[in-house]
Structure 1
């Protein structure tokens, strides 16, 4: 899968559940002038807002 097809891909209807302490990777599309690229950010979930209590 090339970068152009990732950019044109439709958003997912389902997002996996994650909890504080999980490591997540977020891909962000960055536009610099006429150039586009995808930058991946990785980090730990610290807390969650608007979560459902179980």
Structure 2
């Protein structure tokens, strides 16, 4: 799970950098992908936190 989180965060950084230099026709597509990456990242963080909460201590 941690590897996937790292991958999502890396992809977000890449797309964010692309957005800075993108031409108008692709800006909306990149922004939609950033929104999806944010949602996927948040969902995975919740799964990880839930997993941690269920670990016996």
TM-score by length of 1: 0.26
Q: Which has the higher helix share?
A: 2
Q: Which has the higher strand share?
A: 1
TM-score by length of 2: 0.25
Greater relative CO, 1 or 2 (CA 8 Å, sep 6+): 2
